[in-house]
Structure 1
Amino acid sequence: MSEQTLSFQAEVSRLLDIVANSLYSNKEIFLRELISNASDACDRLRYAALAQPELLSADPAFKVGLSPDVKARTLSVTDNGIGMNRDDLVENLGTIARSGTAAFVQQLDGKTDGANLIGRFGVGFYSAFMVAERVDVYSRKAGEAQGWHWSSDGKGTFTVGESDAAPARGTRIVLTLRKGEEEYLDPARLRTIVKTYSDHIAIPVVLHHDGKEETLNVASAIWTRPRGELTETQYNEFYRHVAHAFDDPWLRLHFKAEGVIEYTGLLYVPATKPFDLFHPDRRHGVKLYVKRVFITDECEDLIPPYLRFLRGVIDTEDLPLNISREILQHNPVLARIRSAVTKRVLGALKEKADAAPDEYLTFWSNFGAVLKEGLYEDEAQRPALLELARFRTTRSETPIPLAEYVARMPEGQNEIYYISGDDPAALRQSPQLEGFIAKGVEVLLLSDPVDEFWVPAVASFQDKPFRSVTRGGIDLSAIAIGSDAASGEKDAAEDAEAGTDVAPLVTFLRLALKDAVKDVRPSARLTDSPVCLVADEGDIDIHLERLLRQHRQIEGGAKRILEIN
Structure 2
Amino acid sequence: MKKSLLLLSILAAISVVAAEAPGAQAAFGSSGESVVVPDSFAFTGEAGSELPILQGEKFQFQTEVSRLMNIVINSLYKTPEIFLRELISNGSDALDKIRFQSLTDPAALESNPSLNVTIAVHKEQRTITITDSGIGMTKEDLQKNLGTIAKSGTSEFLETMSGDKADMDLIGKFGVGFYSVFLVADKVRVRSKNNNDDQYVWESTAVNDFTIAKDPAGNTLGRGTQIVIHLKEDQDQYLNDSHLQELVTKYSEFINFPIYIRRTKTKTVESKPVETSKDTSKDDEDDEAVVEEAKDEDVKKSTPVTVTYEEDDLMNTNKPIWIRDPKTVSETEYDEFYRVLTREPDAKSMAYSHFKAEGDVDFKAIMYIPSKVPKDLFQRADSVQHNVKLYVKRVFITDGSSEFLPRWLSFLRVVIDAEDAPLNVSRETVQSSKSIKSIAKHLVKKMFDLLKSLSQDEEKYADFIKEFGTSLKLGALEDKSNVKKISRLLRYHSSDSDKYTSLEAYVSRMKKGQKDIFYFTGSNVDEIKQSPFVESLLARGYEVLYMDDPVDEIVLSHLNNFEGKSFQNVAKSDLKLGDEDEVQTEKELETKFLPLLDWMHATLLNEVEKVRVSNRLTTSPAALVATDFGWTANMERLMEGQAKQNKDPMHQFIKNQKKIFEINPGHPLILGLLERASRDPKGFEEDKHFQEMTKVLYDITLVRSGYTLKDGVKAFATRVENMLRVNLDVDPTAEAIYEAPQAELRDQEEIEAEIEKREDILEADEPVPGMMSAEELNKMLKEYTDSTNPSKAGPDGANVDEIVAQVEKELDSEEADQTKETVHDEL
TM-score (norm 2): 0.43
Query: Which secondary structure does the structure 2 equivalent of 1:213 belong to?
Result: strand
1: CA distance between counterparts of 2:82 and 2:369?
A: 36
1: CA distance between counterparts of 2:312 and 2:338?
A: 28
1:7-46 alignment to 2 at 5 Å?
none
8 Å Cα contact 1:318/1:333 also seen in 2: no
Q: Post-superposition shift, 1:201?
A: 7.5
2: CA distance between counterparts of 1:216 and 1:371?
A: 39
- Per the alignment, residue 527 of structure 1 pairs with 618
- Per the alignment, residue 370 of structure 2 pairs with 270
Letter in 1 for 2:636: E
Kindly indicate whether residue 357 of structure 2 is the aligned counterpart of residue 257 of structure 1.
yes
- Per the alignment, residue 561 of structure 1 pairs with 660
Q: Post-superposition shift, 1:435?
A: 1.1
2: CA distance between counterparts of 1:66 and 1:309?
A: 39
1: CA distance between counterparts of 2:494 and 2:581?
A: 19
8 Å Cα contact 2:390/2:397 also seen in 1: yes
8 Å Cα contact 1:268/1:310 also seen in 2: yes
Residue 60 (structure 1) aligned to one of 69, 87, 92: 87
- Per the alignment, residue 233 of structure 1 pairs with 332
1: CA distance between counterparts of 2:77 and 2:417?
A: 17
- Per the alignment, residue 528 of structure 2 pairs with 427
1:68-147 alignment to 2 at 5 Å?
143=184
Runs of 5+ in structure 2 lacking a partner?
A: 1-30, 33-71, 90-116, 122-127, 131-182, 187-232, 244-251, 266-308, 665-827
Residue 389 (structure 2) aligned to one of 271, 274, 287: 287
2: CA distance between counterparts of 1:265 and 1:498?
A: 67
2: CA distance between counterparts of 1:249 and 1:406?
A: 32
Q: Structure 1 residues 170, 454: closer, same or farther in 2, change over 3 A?
A: farther
1: CA distance between counterparts of 2:527 and 2:548?
A: 10
Query: Which secondary structure does the structure 1 equivalent of 2:500 belong to?
Result: coil
1:157-172 alignment to 2 at 5 Å?
169=238, 171-172=240-241
Q: Post-superposition shift, 1:417?
A: 0.9
1:80-479 alignment to 2 at 5 Å?
143=184, 169=238, 171-173=240-242, 204=259, 206=261, 208=263, 210-213=309-312, 215=314, 217=316, 221-245=320-344, 246-281=346-381, 283=385, 285-322=387-424, 331-354=433-456, 356-478=457-579
1: CA distance between counterparts of 2:542 and 2:315?
A: 64
2: CA distance between counterparts of 1:52 and 1:216?
A: 22
Query: Which secondary structure does the structure 2 equivalent of 1:397 belong to?
Result: strand
Residue 604 (structure 2) aligned to one of 490, 513, 534: 513
- Per the alignment, residue 91 of structure 1 pairs with none
8 Å Cα contact 2:623/2:661 also seen in 1: yes
2: CA distance between counterparts of 1:169 and 1:294?
A: 19
| Alpha-carbon displacement from aligned partner over 1:365-393 (angstroms, at most 9, x marks no partner) | 11111111111111221222122111001
8 Å Cα contact 1:301/1:328 also seen in 2: no
Q: Structure 1 residues 454, 479: closer, same or farther in 2, change over 3 A?
A: farther
2: CA distance between counterparts of 1:325 and 1:531?
A: 67
8 Å Cα contact 2:357/2:442 also seen in 1: no
- Per the alignment, residue 749 of structure 2 pairs with none
Letter in 1 for 2:351: L
- Greater shift in the superposed pair: 51-60 or 232-241: 51-60
Query: Which secondary structure does the structure 1 equivalent of 2:538 belong to?
Result: helix
Q: Post-superposition shift, 1:454?
A: 1.5
TM-score (norm 1): 0.62
Kindly indicate whether residue 640 of structure 2 is the aligned counterpart of residue 549 of structure 1.
yes
2: CA distance between counterparts of 1:399 and 1:324?
A: 49
Q: Post-superposition shift, 1:453?
A: 2.2
Q: Structure 1 residues 529, 65: closer, same or farther in 2, change over 3 A?
A: farther
1: CA distance between counterparts of 2:578 and 2:414?
A: 53
8 Å Cα contact 2:422/2:431 also seen in 1: no
2: CA distance between counterparts of 1:320 and 1:60?
A: 20
| Alpha-carbon displacement from aligned partner over 1:133-172 (angstroms, at most 9, x marks no partner) | xxxxxxxxx7499xxxxxxxxxxxxxxxxxx999561644
Q: Give the % identical residues.
A: 32
8 Å Cα contact 1:372/1:389 also seen in 2: yes
1: CA distance between counterparts of 2:470 and 2:430?
A: 28
1: CA distance between counterparts of 2:370 and 2:311?
A: 40
| Alpha-carbon displacement from aligned partner over 1:394-424 (angstroms, at most 9, x marks no partner) | 2222111111111111111110111112212
Q: What is the alpha-carbon root mean square deviation over aligned residues?
A: 4.0
8 Å Cα contact 1:243/1:312 also seen in 2: no
Q: Structure 1 residues 373, 333: closer, same or farther in 2, change over 3 A?
A: same
1: CA distance between counterparts of 2:474 and 2:427?
A: 25
2: CA distance between counterparts of 1:56 and 1:352?
A: 43
- Per the alignment, residue 631 of structure 2 pairs with 540
Q: Post-superposition shift, 1:318?
A: 4.7
Runs of 5+ in structure 1 lacking a partner?
A: 1-30, 33-44, 68-77, 81-141, 146-163, 175-197, 482-493
Q: Post-superposition shift, 1:234?
A: 2.8
8 Å Cα contact 1:51/1:322 also seen in 2: no
Q: Post-superposition shift, 1:496?
A: 8.8
Structure with more relative contact order (C-alpha pairs < 8 Å, separation 6 or more):
1
Letter in 1 for 2:336: E
Larger Rg: 2
2: CA distance between counterparts of 1:274 and 1:309?
A: 7
8 Å Cα contact 2:424/2:431 also seen in 1: no
1: CA distance between counterparts of 2:621 and 2:339?
A: 57
2: CA distance between counterparts of 1:551 and 1:144?
A: 53
Q: Post-superposition shift, 1:220?
A: 5.3
Q: Structure 1 residues 528, 60: closer, same or farther in 2, change over 3 A?
A: same
1: CA distance between counterparts of 2:428 and 2:660?
A: 52
Q: Post-superposition shift, 1:229?
A: 4.2
8 Å Cα contact 2:405/2:444 also seen in 1: yes
8 Å Cα contact 1:455/1:466 also seen in 2: yes
2: CA distance between counterparts of 1:233 and 1:256?
A: 21
2: CA distance between counterparts of 1:505 and 1:466?
A: 33
1: CA distance between counterparts of 2:477 and 2:129?
A: 45
Q: Post-superposition shift, 1:233?
A: 3.0
2: CA distance between counterparts of 1:329 and 1:58?
A: 19
2: CA distance between counterparts of 1:242 and 1:495?
A: 65
8 Å Cα contact 2:597/2:611 also seen in 1: yes
2: CA distance between counterparts of 1:218 and 1:326?
A: 24
Q: Post-superposition shift, 1:293?
A: 3.5
Query: Which secondary structure does the structure 1 equivalent of 2:415 belong to?
Result: strand
8 Å Cα contact 1:470/1:534 also seen in 2: yes
8 Å Cα contact 1:265/1:315 also seen in 2: yes
1: CA distance between counterparts of 2:581 and 2:514?
A: 8
| Alpha-carbon displacement from aligned partner over 1:87-106 (angstroms, at most 9, x marks no partner) | xxxxxxxxxxxxxxxxxxxx
